[in-house]
Amino acid sequence: MQGMMMHIPLRIIEILRYAAEAHPGAGIVSVRTEGDIHRETYAEAYQRAAQLAHGLAGIGIAPGDRVATLAWNGYRHFELYYAVSGMGAVCHTINPRLSAEQMLYIIQHAGDRALCVDLTFVPLIEALAEHLPDGLRLILMTDRAHMPESKVDFLCYEELLDGQSTDYDWPVMDENDAAALCYTSGTTGNPKGALYSHRSTVLHAMQLALTIPRSLHEGARILPVVPMFHVNSWGLPYAAPIVGASLVMPGGKLDGASLWDLMEAEQVTASWGVPTVWLGLRAEIGTRGQAPAALDQVVIGGSAAPRSMIEGFEKLGIDVCHAWGMTEMSPVGTHGQLSASMDGLDLKEKIDRKCKQGRRIFGVDLKIVDEHGARLPHDGKAVGELYVRGNAIISGYFNNPEASEAAMDAEGWFGTGDVASIDPHGFLYIQDRAKDLIKSGGEWISSIDLENIAMAHPKVANCAVIALPHPKWDERPLLVVVPKEDKPTLGEIHDMMLEHFAKWQLPDDMVFVDELPLTATGKVSKLTLRERFADHVLPDAG
């Protein structure tokens, strides 16, 4: 027997229509590439999204077309998210930190019809111009007064909107229609596209809005450091308008001092980003002797949050929510908000919990399996490859049958490539990327665990552990350290590690670097480190 309820397709534009009505005072504050601060309410954004949709339709954009963006976090990027999907087209965010070759590959692969770019990226587009596909319309996200002299024929974003109606007859499409596209850069092979639907995006936004209320609530002011050009800024541009939280968009200035100033000036209550960003903010808090006054929560994800970082924020009274997810998961999969039953834990126990990646959000299922695909218990001890399932998780990659087949198991779960345990409270603990685990004499060593301890050493500013080949043990760990003023000795680091590790697990050697290489998504590039230190000979490996 069927239920007797209406079926109204889930549509992304409904989020903004709702916010415009229900939260008229909330909206978006943006540090503009033009240099000033811009403010608009969700009601204004909704009207401008309508104008933009008319403008895009006017240059021939039709339902199903891919409209790409190459832009920082800002109100025009936000308007594109809604206008493009609202008119039935697909908003394809491009990561400007990709190599030119990868960027050209994904523009081709996605079949983009238009590309909207921030002023910052004019030189990049000029350099790529002759390789861009014929017929790709280029739109510069600025007003007439700021249009630069350029050999490239840019349309002006604000001119597309000028004089257009602030009403748009948003089409009612199938909720499973594609709405947004984001490529994930694997360390091997070409980038692969996660193609989100209206349904998956709206469900993910609602799941997120339910999950992290300390960040996401009416009147909150959230600064997404996590970029709109990758993984949809962790879903914040969709979840914040639902609950009536405002977004404070930092543009391209993501250093500690700029973030501190913006957080203070805009009374930011929560901020989401990757650990590298928080290293900068924490150093700035140290210099100024205080945290931005209203900052109440940071959400850390994208890479493991080191214990020292979590402790540092918590000691300042700033709650840390450690989250885990992937581009392929829209992206949030787990969150580290402690449940009320954990109120009685002391600070150390709370931090122990927060060092893990937290519990699954509603709508995401987790399983860990052994090398034969057999399920492992959630006992906090068994370690296996992590698979996920849910309504906001990809069922395959866009136009890539080979990668799609490799990613899914026989039961239809998606293989994350992460190796993890899950404890009886449901807390996920990511040990490593499968390819970054160190295999020594048939036993595994987690690089993340070693890094976590080394990071707590007062002479270590940042670090990474990689595997180097070893004639006897197959692989052994090498510790790569960015030192503070004084350099630590390997013995000092070993002393700290011995409290937590067996002797055979400790790094065989340590090297110093000025900074760690990062991937386009802000993670430490272990591939680059492995290449750089490929000829390094470990002490007893000669």
For residue 326, state whether it binds ligand AMP (rule: CB under 6 A). yes
Query: Minimum CB separation from ligand AMP for residue 324, in Å?
Result: 4
Paired tokens of 492: 């000092």
Cα 423 from Cα 429, distance rounded (Å): 8
Only one of the segments 75-83, 129-137, 277-285, 413-421 lies at the binding site for ligand AMP (rule: CB under 6 A); that segment is 413-421
Binding-residue pattern over the window 146 to 185 for ligand AMP, x denoting contact by CB under 6 A: --------------------------------------x-
Cα 410 from Cα 45, distance rounded (Å): 44
Q: What is the 3-state secondary structure (H, E, C) of 126-184?
A: HHHHHHCCCCCEEEECCCHHHCCCCCCCCEEHHHHHCCCCCCCCCCCCCCCCEEEEEEE
* CB nearer ligand AMP, residue 9 or residue 380: 380
Binds ligand AMP by CB under 6 A, chosen from 140, 291, 430, 497: 430
For residue 447, state whether it binds ligand AMP (rule: CB under 6 A). no
For ligand AMP, the nearest residue by Cβ is 327
Please report, as residue ranges, which positions from 53 to 82 form the binding site for ligand AMP (by CB under 6 A). none
* CB nearer ligand AMP, residue 244 or residue 325: 325
* CB nearer ligand AMP, residue 273 or residue 280: 273
Binds ligand AMP by CB under 6 A, chosen from 301, 306, 363, 390: 301
Query: Minimum CB separation from ligand AMP for residue 43, in Å?
Result: 32
User: How many residues make contact with ligand AMP (CB under 6 A)?
Assistant: 19
Only one of the segments 148-156, 317-325, 462-470, 499-507 lies at the binding site for ligand AMP (rule: CB under 6 A); that segment is 317-325
Phi, psi at residue 294, to the nearest 5°?
-90, -5
Query: Minimum CB separation from ligand AMP for residue 246, in Å?
Result: 25
Check 439, 459, 492, 523 and give the catalytic one: 439
Residue 315 vs residues 259, 291, 312, 341, 473: alpha-carbon distances, Å? 20, 11, 5, 22, 41
Is 234 marked active-site? no
For residue 214, state whether it binds ligand AMP (rule: CB under 6 A). no
Residue 138: half-sphere exposure toward Cβ, Cα within 13 Å: 21
Which of 276, 277, 272, 278 is closest to 299 using CA atoms?
272
Query: Is the Cβ–Cβ distance between 246 and 240 less than 8 Å?
Result: yes
Residue 165 vs residues 24, 43, 48, 155, 516: alpha-carbon distances, Å? 20, 14, 9, 19, 49
Binding-residue pattern over the window 231 to 250 for ligand AMP, x denoting contact by CB under 6 A: x-------------------
For residue 298, state whether it binds ligand AMP (rule: CB under 6 A). no
DSSP code string of 301-367? -SSPPPHHHHHHHHHTT-EEEE-EE-GGGSSEEEE-PPPGGGTTS-HHHHHHHHHS-BEEPTTEEEE
Query: Minimum CB separation from ligand AMP for residue 98, in Å?
Result: 12
Residue 7 vs residues 15, 82, 174, 176, 179: alpha-carbon distances, Å? 17, 22, 11, 13, 19
The C-alpha torsion from 527 through 528 and 529 to 532, rounded to 10°, is 130
Cα 62 from Cα 240, distance rounded (Å): 28
Check 40, 79, 266, 328 and give the catalytic one: 328
Binds ligand AMP by CB under 6 A, chosen from 235, 302, 363, 507: 302
For residue 385, state whether it binds ligand AMP (rule: CB under 6 A). no
* CB nearer ligand AMP, residue 327 or residue 505: 327
For residue 418, state whether it binds ligand AMP (rule: CB under 6 A). yes
For residue 327, state whether it binds ligand AMP (rule: CB under 6 A). yes
Query: Is the Cβ–Cβ distance between 311 and 214 less than 8 Å?
Result: no
Paired tokens of 57: 């339709």
Cα 454 from Cα 141, distance rounded (Å): 43
For residue 227, state whether it binds ligand AMP (rule: CB under 6 A). no
Strands 137-140 and 155-156: parallel
For residue 521, state whether it binds ligand AMP (rule: CB under 6 A). yes
* CB nearer ligand AMP, residue 88 or residue 306: 306
Only one of the segments 203-211, 239-247, 415-423, 489-497 lies at the binding site for ligand AMP (rule: CB under 6 A); that segment is 415-423
Is 328 marked active-site? yes
For residue 416, state whether it binds ligand AMP (rule: CB under 6 A). yes
Query: Is the Cβ–Cβ distance between 15 and 242 less than 8 Å?
Result: yes
* CB nearer ligand AMP, residue 33 or residue 184: 184
* CB nearer ligand AMP, residue 94 or residue 262: 94
DSSP-derived 3-state class of residue 385: strand
The C-alpha torsion from 56 through 62 and 64 to 69, rounded to 10°, is -20
Please report, as residue ranges, which positions from 107 to 136 form the binding site for ligand AMP (by CB under 6 A). none
Query: Minimum CB separation from ligand AMP for residue 520, in Å?
Result: 9
* CB nearer ligand AMP, residue 93 or residue 184: 184
Query: Is the Cβ–Cβ distance between 242 and 213 less than 8 Å?
Result: no
Check 142, 184, 416, 521 and give the catalytic one: 184
Query: Is the Cβ–Cβ distance between 87 and 61 less than 8 Å?
Result: yes
Query: Minimum CB separation from ligand AMP for residue 96, in Å?
Result: 15
For residue 324, state whether it binds ligand AMP (rule: CB under 6 A). yes
Is 260 marked active-site? no
DSSP code string of 446-496? -HHHHHHHHHTSTTEEEEEEEEEEETTTEEEEEEEEEE-SSPPPHHHHHHH
Binding-residue pattern over the window 337 to 376 for ligand AMP, x denoting contact by CB under 6 A: --------------------x-------------------
Give the DSSP H or E segment for 249: strand 246-249
Residues at the site binding ligand AMP, with contacts judged by CB under 6 A: 184, 231, 301-304, 322-324, 326-327, 331, 357, 416-418, 430, 433, 521
Q: Report, as residue numbers or ranges, the catalytic residues.
A: 184, 328, 439, 444
